[in-house]
Each structure stands twice: as structure tokens, then as C-alpha cells.
């Protein structure tokens, strides 16, 4: 039983995260998505809401579980018996931060490997931050996130969207 951990903020989960998760779920017996409950990072959604949106979005992936964690990632990975950390790499801009974090985690826990997976090209420009910004300014985000996330975002930024859109499903 080889378990991998996919940690992140997931504020909120996007189709890019789900692409990476799908790929990881084919490589491991179980993938545990771990929502970082990090008070120093200002999040739009609570950790509970981010977990709920991830659970709804991954309901069709049988070997994926979702939870949240606080504190040091390597400690949490150890407590879960995880052998690998999954991270997504979109562009060179992700590389420096990810490289530093992977090497720091390796020095803290040498038996834990970090694996980087690339999403499909259509998601390489997608980030939670960008989706929130587009939605806040009134843009349509249905192509970038699952339905449940679209609805959660529209209810956070109702002022910019016509009332008819709020209950409308993704086109």
C-alpha cells in the first residue's frame, strides 16, 4: 500500500489541481489531498470549506481522500505513513520555490520523495489566485473550476455577476 500526499492551499481547487490529482491517482494506491490550514496565509475560504469542495470534486476518484493539516508537512506525512509528496509544476516560475521546498523537506525527512507532475498544457496558466481575481472582476470561470467551486465563488462575489448567473450551471 503506497500512499502519496498532495499538499496545498487549494483556495479553491481548480481543474489544474484535479488534472495533477488524476495523474497521481494512477500511480499510487492512495492519494491523500492535504489542505494546509495555515493561519499566516490569508485564504478566501476556510479550511473546512476547501476540504468540502475538494471532496465534492473528487467524488469519482475512488483512491483519493481529502483532509486538512496544520504544522510541518513532513511531520504530517510521517504520521500518515506517506512515501511521497506530489506537487504540480506549471512553468519555470514555479520551479525555484518548489525546488527549495523539496530540498528542505528532503533534509528534514530523507525517506520522503517529492514528485512533480505536469498538468495538461491547457491548465499551465491556471491558478487559484487568477480564478479568484477573474471571478471578483465579473469574468466567467466555468471552464477553470468544477461546478461546486464556481457556485461557491459566485456566492462570494455576487455583486459582479447578474443574478441569473448565480444559480445557473456551467455552460
Residues annotated catalytic, as ranges: 17, 41, 90, 128
Cα(2)–Cα(52) distance, rounded to whole angstroms? Answer: 25
Cα(135)–Cα(151) distance, rounded to whole angstroms? Answer: 11
127 sits near ligand ADP (criterion: CB under 6 A): yes
132 sits near ligand ADP (criterion: CB under 6 A): no
Give me the 65-104 binding string for ligand ADP, x by CB under 6 A, dash otherwise: ----------------------xx-x---x----------
For ligand ADP, the binding residue among 31, 33, 119, 146 (CB under 6 A) is 119
CB of 90 to ligand ADP, least distance (A): 5
117: its cell numbers: 507532475
CB closer to ligand ADP, 88 vs 146 = 88
Contacts of residue 123, defined as CB under 8 A and 6 or more positions apart, other chains included, come to: 14, 15, 16, 19, 90
7: its cell numbers: 499538499
Amino acid at each position: 500500500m503506497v500512499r502519496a500526499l498532495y499538499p496545498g492551499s487549494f483556495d479553491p481547487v481548480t481543474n489544474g489541481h484535479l488534472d495533477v490529482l488524476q495523474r497521481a491517482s494512477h500511480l499510487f494506491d492512495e492519494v491523500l489531498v492535504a489542505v494546509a490550514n495555515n493561519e499566516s496565509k490569508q485564504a478566501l475560504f476556510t479550511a473546512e470549506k476547501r476540504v468540502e469542495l475538494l471532496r465534492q470534486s473528487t467524488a469519482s476518484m475512488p483512491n483519493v481522500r481529502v483532509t486538512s493539516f496544520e504544522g510541518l508537512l513532513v511531520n504530517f506525512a510521517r504520521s500518515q505513513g506517506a512515501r511521497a509528496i506530489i506537487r504540480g509544476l506549471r512553468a519555470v516560475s514555479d520551479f525555484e520555490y518548489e525546488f527549495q521546498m523539496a530540498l528542505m523537506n528532503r533534509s528534514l525527512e530523507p525517506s520522503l520523495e517529492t514528485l512533480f507532475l505536469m498538468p495538461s498544457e491547457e491548465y499551465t496558466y491556471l491558478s487559484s489566485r487568477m480564478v479568484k481575481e477573474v471571478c471578483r472582476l465579473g469574468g466567467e470561470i466555468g471552464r477553470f473550476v468544477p461546478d461546486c467551486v464556481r457556485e461557491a465563488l459566485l456566492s462570494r462575489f455576487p455583486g459582479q455577476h447578474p443574478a441569473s448567473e448565480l444559480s445557473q450551471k456551467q455552460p
